[in-house]
Chains A and B, each alone.
Chain A
Amino acid sequence: MSPGSPTALHGWGRTSPSVASVRTPTGAVEVAEAVRGAGDRGVLARGLGRSYGDPAQNAGGTVLDMTRHRGVRRLDVDAAVVEVEAGTSLDELLRVLLGVGLTLPVQPGTRQVSVGGAVAADVHGKNHHVAGSFGAHVRWLDLLTADGEVQRLRPDGPDPELFWGTVGGMGLTGVVLRAELSVRRVETSSVVVTSERHGDLGEVMDALTRLDHEAEYSVAWFDSISRGRGSGRGVVLSGHDARLEELPEADRGAPYAVPPPRSVAVPLVPPASLVNRLSGRAFNELWFRRAPRHPTTGVEHAFGFFQPLDGVASWNRLYGPRGLAQYQLAVPHDAAAVVPAVVAAVAASGHVSCLNVLKRFGPGTPSPLSFPLPGWTLALDLPVAAGLAGLLDRLDAMVLEAGGRVYLAKDSRTPAHHLAAMYPDLPRFAALRRRVDPEGRFASDLARRLGLLTPTPAREAYP
């Protein structure tokens, strides 16, 4: 293993970088050695750095780059289970799975995430309303805890508390080394997608509600800039895994084809954000106009449907030197009114978001820190600029009032004193950490910022 060199790390949003000693273990022995030898700033696993903010950073401490700890260990096609090392990317894994007619039950908006990162954030996909989050499909995981020992954990024992605390636990319970996942059979690597355009947010929300019962996959993209009547106009996409006979005749000979792993990259960070009022408006307009006026149904490759952005590597650089902040909220069904209120507040603020995603969540998992809750989730990609802090604080207030929360995997600025209200199971998580990591060996910038390392759950509240 590399001895560890001081390296500046940032999340996908490219905000708040910090320097840690990065080591690249290739096996459990090396991970254990690094964990046992961790200094007072602690240690943390990092996957592919696709969380937006600071959860995969550990300033002044050790960061274990897990991406060389990878590979599919065992694939049981009949039982539809796969055993995989935690540093494996979902891209790599899906290429193996699709080759034999299997797919991942939950896929986030990029395949460039590791299995460990998907567990740690308990990621969700366009089918959350029917399939739940990633953690729901983990049969067991091997966790290396603060004592350097490895435990095999399952949702139903031996230590379900630790299993569920690791799912969604943002790397703070230990290092996930390996996991066994339930996967799903498909007849093709394509999805049948229906796209419908809606003139305002109300219609978009009605369509998504209806699709709860009709569609395996559903998601909406909406315009966050237009105000007044067309406020929140958007495009609703729904779909299901394509069956063989749904493929165009010419493609039926190779139903599991996957495109080669190639993408164009944004080469440089421009001196200023290229995402601004002008380009943002053009983008929002274009995206809306691109969708046909009347509902259409077509067959699309799953990669293009689930991960439309993966074709452009490092697009985050377009946001310039100050980077971008994602704001993803979840609110319960009875607080659906928060959605239009947030959209109106953003449109009125003058801040520009290009990628605005709305979706309905189904029930969450037993994890104390997992993000999804039954209701609505909305995500915005905002360039960091003067005044953004104030806008997001106002959104926080609406989310809190509604009993909602923001997504830690995307967070880069939530004030610490909101956390207990957003995650009511926080005391359980703190107690779990006290039990499995009494000396606080696992640490991250996110945890420092949000006060997750302080063992006392009861924090003072500030107005």
Chain B
Amino acid sequence: MMDATGRPQSLLLLGGTSEIGLAVADAWAEQAPGLRVVLAARPGERRDAAAARLEGRGCRVEVHDFDALDDGAHVRVVEKARAGGDVDVAVVAYGVLGDPERAWQDPEEAGRIARTNYTAPVLSGVALAAMVRAQGHGVVVALSSVASERPRRSNFVYGSSKAGMDAFYTGLGEALRPLGGRVLVVRPGFVRSRMTEGLDAAPLAVGPDEVARAVVDGVAAGREQVWVPRPLRPVMSTLRHLPRPVFRRLPL
């Protein structure tokens, strides 16, 4: 169960090798000794390393095979996680940036991005909703992106998939409220991570730890959405309302 100060006892990471997801687990592990962490990820070295690292921090780690692109996997893995006890917080942490220029011209790349960033999170969300309904409590953290706010020419396939995901989890938050659940939609800007390796960092770029801190604080405070860093909210809200001819000319 979550305690009064917002500390969970168990955490499910869907996308268990995600850098942000693991930074979130680290942040909670520090506050909650003995935290149970369920890593749902594809098997491999990266997953092993993640499990070892969390164990080193005093976590009780469970690993389960999970491929977000396998439609049946979402329900299966949530059930497996539940078998070991209630899941207090689940983080939907997977996603791909893809090759933006290939993405709008190559059906395969477009489909991979759309399925990973939208269809799969929807399936995860449905599985987590059933879990929350059964448990009578639970927090779902969805890692969206500022790109969902106003997709840009430079990566609109990614942006559009995040926009759909963001809208789904925002709605899911409303649906789960009367069932004892909460959804926190997290909208980071540019995060320096494996996903953005080789790209020039945008202004207000952050590291995974900063996102993790915002998640932990946001969950504790009962927030429904957070922007990382915070000043991105007014920035994005301005950008969203700019006329297209102006927006188009911005160096974004």
Contact = CB atoms under 8 A, between A and B. Distances in A.
A15 B222 CA distance: 10
B7 to A, nearest CB: 6
Interface residues of A, number: 37
Nearest to B3: A413
Contacts of B136: 6, 18-20, 41, 58-61
| A contact patch SS | loop
Interface string B89-114: 00000000000000000000000000
Contacts of B135: 41, 59-60
Nearest to A53: B4
Contacts of A412: 3-4
A351 to B, nearest CB: 11
B5 A325 contact: yes
Nearest to B2: A16
Given A386-B217, A462-B34, A448 B1 contact: yes
23 contacts: A6-B136, A13-B4, A15-B3, A15-B5, A16-B1, A16-B2, A16-B3, A17-B137, A18-B1, A18-B136, A18-B180, A19-B137, A19-B178, A41-B134, A53-B4, A59-B86, A321-B222, A325-B5, A384-B4, A389-B31, A448-B85, A463-B33, A463-B58
Contacts of A321: 222
Contacts of B23: none
A448 B135 CA distance: 11
Interface residues of B, number: 27
Contacts of A463: 33, 58
Interface string B1-19: 1111111010000000000
Contacts of A15: 3-5
A331 B179 CA distance: 40
B1 A322 contact: no
Given A17-B180, A18-B180, A61-B136, A413 B4 contact: yes
Interface in A291-322: 321-322
B5 A389 contact: yes
A139 B187 CA distance: 60
B236 interface: no
A463 B136 CA distance: 31
B32 interface: yes
A388 B6 CA distance: 10
A410 to B, nearest CB: 11
Interface in B134-186: 134-137, 178-180
B69 interface: no
A417 B32 CA distance: 11
Contacts of B4: 13, 15-16, 53, 323, 325, 384, 412-413
Interface string B206-233: 0000000000010011100000000000
B81 to A, nearest CB: 15
A85 interface: no
